[in-house]
Amino acid sequence: MQDSESLLSSLRLNMPLFEEMQSFTGKKYEEMILNQANRPASMSYFDHAVLESERARIGEIIEAREHGAKMIGTFCIYVPDEIVYAASAIPVALCGGTSLSVPYAERKFPRDICPLIKSTLGRAFSRTCPYAPLEDMGVGETTCDAKKKTWDILSQKSRFHILELPQKKNGRDAGLWREEVREFRDAVENLTGNKVTSEKLGDSIRLMNRKRKLLLELNEFRKLPLPPISGRDALVVMQVALNDERERFCNRLEALVNEIHSRAGNEISQFPEGTVRVLVTGCPSVMGNWKLHSIIETSGAAVVCDESCTGTRYFERMVDENAKTAEDMIDAIADRYFKINCSCFTPNNERIEHVVELAKEYKADVVIQYVLHYCHTYAIEAMRITEALKTAGIPSMVIETDYSDEDEGQLRTRIEALLERVKN
């Protein structure tokens, strides 16, 4: 097998810039994640998975492609991985979490769009995303306007499938979504040449449910008065969930859950008793983005729950395993994904109610709404969430930010003041 350096250079990346981004991310990871004291030993696998996500993992994907597997790039958790796996393809989340690539998108794109999109496109435009040359098909979805119009551009350059996500939670829209999921199945079958049979779908449904159950189990421990895992480490686990090979991930997660179980029994925690408990809700924090969690936890609080796509939205609700035929399985998959509470839905009462429920379940002292700049749906929905939390007697704050470090001092001051207020 080739070493990772020659593999990467075979992808015709801008290697000096790629190396600069790697070392930037490595330093951030060390500062924000590795520097925490008293971490669970099983986190070492997840650390390795983050730091090697653009080296060793790339080698594995190249090898799998040489054996005929196709790689499908995704940008949203509405893409049903069960179907991708059932066709023996590899799904990889390609959302960018680094600030370094943002200027490369701003040269071509309007500046006034969210950093997640700019970071993603900037990686592609600057030839620093090693996944881009390996992608056999991209899948975009009709969630926010910025994403929708981005797909117009990406689909001109490469094979691309658009999943139309209806945005009202009624029966008619649920039916339309089932049809969309069927069309996606057909596109994946066309790409791979593999039939998505009931047998393969059954296996992938069970595997994805196992992944979700393990993530749920891990998160249950965060409800304890002394959380045995930090919010930063729980976030890292979620980021790896979107990138790493599924079976290895589940096995390593199982080991982590076992360790967390014994830490809980021995009351081992990174936080002293009485630490302020924070629920973070809103936009996802994808790989490379540890900014908010790090500021909160280095300001003396603990993030105990994430209501986001790098949190509960990803692992809540199982796909019903009772369906027997491939068509019924597709319906069961579609129905599970249609219940994800993204802010692109209108009305979106389910999310508002759920944030309050989660805050109570996880005994959060305070809720921080995380809104990426120019993310209109989360920014506007924040008003209703603030109201609902106020009615429930739960203090909250809205943080609007991007991927840069510029506002770090200001955010820290605001968060520290909030924590002081909650303590008194």
Out of 372, 399, 411, 419, point to the residue binding ligand BJ8 (CB under 6 A).
372
Out of 33, 83, 309, 389, point to the residue binding ligand BJ8 (CB under 6 A).
309
Q: How far is the CB of 291 from ligand BJ8 (least distance, A)?
A: 14
Q: How far is the CB of 14 from ligand BJ8 (least distance, A)?
A: 25
CA distances from 292 to 36, 178, 186, 289, 384 (A): 15, 36, 39, 8, 22
Rg, C-alpha atoms of the chain:
21
Q: Which of 77, 397, 358 is nearest to 216 (CA)?
A: 358
The helix, strand and coil proportions of the chain, stated in percent and rounded to the nearest 5, come to 55, 10, 35
When the beta carbons of 102 and 302 are compared against ligand BJ8, the nearer one is 102
191 Cβ neighbours under 8 A, 6+ residues apart: 70, 72, 87, 89, 136, 137, 159
When the beta carbons of 89 and 342 are compared against ligand BJ8, the nearer one is 342
How many other C-beta atoms are found inside a 10 Å radius of the C-beta of residue 267? 11
When the beta carbons of 233 and 402 are compared against ligand BJ8, the nearer one is 402
Q: Which stretch binds ligand BJ8 (CB under 6 A): 228-236, 323-331, 347-355, 373-381?
A: 373-381
Confirm or reject binding of residue 116 to ligand BJ8 (CB under 6 A): yes
Give me the 234-273 binding string for ligand BJ8, x by CB under 6 A, dash otherwise. Answer: ----------------------------------------
Q: What is the DSSP string of 274-315?
A: TPEEEEEEES---TT--HHHHHHHHTTEEEEEEESTTTHHHH
Q: Reduce the DSSP state of residue 216 to 3 states and report it.
A: helix
When the beta carbons of 19 and 106 are compared against ligand BJ8, the nearer one is 106
Residues 275-294 that bind ligand BJ8 (CB under 6 A): 283-284
Q: Which stretch binds ligand BJ8 (CB under 6 A): 22-30, 48-56, 71-79, 168-176?
A: 71-79
When the beta carbons of 146 and 188 are compared against ligand BJ8, the nearer one is 146
Residues 143-172 that bind ligand BJ8 (CB under 6 A): 143-144, 146-147
Contact 232, 289 (CB under 8 A): no
Strand order in the sheet with 301-307: 301-307, 276-282, 366-372, 396-401
Beta bridge partners of residue 397, listed in sequence order: 368
Which residues of the chain form contacts with ligand BJ8 (CB under 6 A)?
76-78, 114, 116-117, 143-144, 146-147, 283-284, 309, 340, 342, 344, 372, 375, 377-378
